[in-house]
A and B are shown apart, each in its own frame.
With several copies, the nearest count.
Chain A
């Protein structure tokens, strides 16, 4: 239930996972920031994050927000991707099988409708299988 303008505006960031890295202190931030959160420098450059990482922590949400009823129980993970962390939904895995440290890979999936009734696509993360592992 975001807006279509928003999705359109940040689709590149959301789908390619564009972070910002500080040229002064090296701190990497996702979501991308206009200035460095660590040292305040405006000298930050965009950097695409890897699409494979591991689960730092996760939760299984049983009480949905309005608009997310069909995605419940909803598994949300905080995923370490290179030097950055990304919050996203975990899919293709049973809630009881998720583990801290689990390897996951990004996959394009539909999200819930925007306030305008459009269905946006976002990156979600699924377990990395051996087969996929050899190709990445």
Chain B
């Protein structure tokens, strides 16, 4: 299999971009990534997006490629709910690894703030089972709240312990110029915030976000486009049922575990080798079960570990120096691409926020409540 390298990254600030169209947001991230490779024209583009249908636009690969001056190249959109960015990275990887393309642009883009909140929340619930779950009006927060209550009860985890995750994320995110929520918060901020879907409160959850991120992938011949190419040492995706009812387990993300195991095996690495990781903390509970499913913590112990100060800058692994979904934000189809771009910058040593000395990085992007999960291993 041909080796695949990330030789350029580009991001927009995550936040509310009412004044910018989706195509312009994507073009901005693309320009930033192309700037890093001397504007070398890619041969293919992969777009990650989940919900452009809410504003009646599909065919995003053609729309964005053309807008960015790339008419005529190969293009397609990929979707895996909130894990769309992750599967976009996987698809870009396949393009280069196959030998069919040698220069590939992967761009994730999402605008969740285009429609009124109840409409957007309904759209996010398209990740669930429309026939058997959406019919009951359960929101995405509600599905995660079911997991959270089950987990807290089974492992006797305290509300306060989970809430500390958000405090830690805002401490990191405040230093990230691309982050959406750049303010420090306290435990009380979380515990006194409004209940969204009990036991999930507003500050347990990531914000609704607009944003776009791009990475430029090449093979051995073209890695010279960068002085600091970063190797994709492993990548793997796994799916689970969108419905929670038929899951094998409610306190482990089966697809997260499979995806991480496979990606680590491919990279010939162990979870102990990881210096820095960007994981998918859509809710504080998602952080806990993701850390445990990947293998960074024992079952039921993640929140205890972070309450004791683990996973902060200085620890190995440092988790979410970007501020994570909680503080950086979660433009769903773009998030998996942001994560890879951020870890690449960590490994290159030029991430403009909390910077961690690192040789090996991991990203994990989770679609649905763990129904479509992609893990990527990156190496300097």
Contact residues of A with B, CB < 8 Å? 1-3, 5-7, 9-10, 14, 29-31, 33-42, 56-69, 71, 74, 76, 78, 84-89, 95, 100, 111-112, 115-116, 120, 122
CB pair B137–A34 under 8 Å, yes or no, is no
Q: Whole-angstrom distance from the CB of B100 to the nearest CB of chain A?
A: 21
Q: Which 8 pairs from chain A and chain B are nearest by CB?
A: A35-B69, A68-B137, A59-B145, A34-B27, A66-B118, A57-B150, A40-B69, A60-B198
Q: Would A6 and B55 be within 8 Å (CB), given that A61-B142, A65-B137, A66-B121 are in contact? A: yes
CB pair B194–A2 under 8 Å, yes or no, is no
Q: Whole-angstrom distance from the CB of B133 to the nearest CB of chain A?
A: 6
Please pick, from B19, B147, B244, the residue contacting A9 in the complex, using a CB distance under 8 A. Answer: B19
CB pair A87–B138 under 8 Å, yes or no, is yes
Which one of B74-82, B122-130, B258-266, B324-332 contacts A? B122-130
Q: Whole-angstrom distance from the CB of B46 to the nearest CB of chain A?
A: 18
- List, sorted by A's number, 14 A–B pairs whose CB atoms are closer than 8 Å: A2-B131, A33-B69, A33-B246, A34-B67, A35-B67, A40-B70, A58-B146, A59-B138, A61-B197, A62-B198, A64-B121, A66-B121, A87-B138, A100-B150
Q: Whole-angstrom distance from the CB of A11 to the nearest CB of chain B?
A: 11
Q: Specify which chain B residues have a CB less than 8 angstroms from the CB of A59 in the assembled complex.
A: 138, 142, 145-146, 149, 197-200
CB pair A10–B138 under 8 Å, yes or no, is no
Binary contact track B68-91/A, C-beta < 8 Å → 1, others 0: 111100000000000000000000
Q: A37-B248, A95-B198 are in contact. List 17 more A-B contacts (CB 8 A).
A: A2-B55, A6-B131, A10-B132, A30-B245, A35-B27, A37-B241, A40-B70, A56-B150, A57-B150, A59-B138, A65-B121, A65-B137, A67-B122, A76-B136, A84-B246, A87-B132, A87-B244
Total A-B contacts with CB atoms under 8 angstroms apart = 180
Q: Specify which chain B residues have a CB less than 8 angstroms from the CB of A5 in the assembled complex.
A: 18, 114
Interface size class of B (residues with CB under 8 A): 35 or more
Alpha-carbon distance between A127 and B45 when the two chains are bound, in angstroms: 42
CB pair A34–B138 under 8 Å, yes or no, is no
Alpha-carbon distance between A30 and B115 when the two chains are bound, in angstroms: 26
Alpha-carbon distance between A34 and B119 when the two chains are bound, in angstroms: 30
Please pick, from A10, A58, A76, A100, the residue contacting B21 in the complex, using a CB distance under 8 A. Answer: A10
Please pick, from B67, B125, B133, the residue contacting A87 in the complex, using a CB distance under 8 A. Answer: B133
Q: Specify which chain A residues have a CB less than 8 angstroms from the CB of B141 in the assembled complex.
A: 61, 63
Q: Specify which chain A residues have a CB less than 8 angstroms from the CB of B27 in the assembled complex.
A: 34-35
Q: Would A66 and B70 be within 8 Å (CB), given that A38-B248, A57-B150, A57-B250 are in contact? A: no
Q: Specify which chain A residues have a CB less than 8 angstroms from the CB of B199 in the assembled complex.
A: 59
Alpha-carbon distance between A57 and B23 when the two chains are bound, in angstroms: 27
Q: Specify which chain B residues have a CB less than 8 angstroms from the CB of A3 in the assembled complex.
A: 55, 114-115
CB pair A64–B130 under 8 Å, yes or no, is no
